Amino acid sequence: MTISITLTQPQAKVNLKARKTMSGDVMIFDHPDFNVVISPSAKKVLALAKEQYGSHIYAAQSRLFDYLSKHGVVDPSSIHGGNVFGSLEALLLEVEEVQKEDVNATQVAIYSVAKFFQSEKGHYDDIAKFDAEWEKEITDPPEDESTALGKVPHHARQGANNSFPGSTGAYGLVGYYMEESQTKEA
């Protein structure tokens, strides 16, 4: 089956937090967990973890490459871990000779990444909403879930641990000697 595509003008525009490198790579920073680099010269898409690593980051990167492979942007057999820790990469598919003038693989990849981010937005909005509600619940609990203790005075030193190093900290004597005020109370 042959499919004929004729494009004369750009069919869509997307707004992304992106930057072009000196080598011509496009770096996209919109996702909260990872950055995407699309390299036309290497014909590669790379997803790099931002600040943290873990199974949830890998799962999000994996969903990206599943999306890109299902939409015919990357070669599914080339998806693998990159040479940077916490990264995944895949090769961009080649554009057929018939469509070379009309279809730009880099633009298709950028558009597809933007569509993936749009599909994930609801999930990350729900996480942000949950975090905000949880923080509000912890810092300002409702009246029926809190106690009225009033002001509780604090002592200069509490418990058995001596927070001031010195002679009592040597030889395992931490907490052995008590302050005078504590011995009088006991």
- For the question of whether the overall pTM of this predicted structure is more than 0.85, the answer is no
What's the average model confidence in pLDDT over 112-126? 87
Indicate whether 155 belongs to any domain.
no
Q: What is the mean pLDDT of the chain?
A: 79
Indicate whether 185 belongs to any domain.
no
pLDDT of amino acid 4: 47
Q: Has residue 66 got a pLDDT over 90?
A: yes
Whole-number Cα distances in Å, 2 to 72, 73, 92, 93, 96: 16, 18, 21, 17, 11
What's the average model confidence in pLDDT over 50-72? 89
pLDDT of amino acid 32: 85
Mark residue 29 as left, alpha or beta (left: phi above 0; alpha: psi -120 to 50; beta: remaining).
alpha
Indicate whether 11 belongs to any domain.
no
pLDDT of amino acid 86: 85
CATH number at residue 115: 3.30.1360
How far is CA 3 from its chain centroid? 38
Nearest-angstrom CA–CA distance, 9 and 102:
9
pLDDT of amino acid 5: 46
Nearest-angstrom CA–CA distance, 59 and 120:
12
Indicate whether 74 belongs to any domain.
yes
CA atoms within 13 A on the CB side of 97: 0
Indicate whether 178 belongs to any domain.
no
Quick one: which of 110, 69, 114 has its CA closest to 93? 69
Q: Has residue 42 got a pLDDT over 80?
A: yes
pLDDT of amino acid 44: 94
Q: List pLDDT tens digits, range 160-184.
A: 655 555 555 555 555 555 554 455 5
Q: Has residue 123 got a pLDDT over 60?
A: yes
68 close to 74: Cβ distance less than 8 angstroms: yes
Indicate whether 98 belongs to any domain.
yes
Nearest-angstrom CA–CA distance, 39 and 5:
24
Looking at the structure of the chain, the number of domains it has is 1
What's the average model confidence in pLDDT over 21-49? 91
Host domain of residue 121: 18-139
Q: Has residue 1 got a pLDDT over 80?
A: no
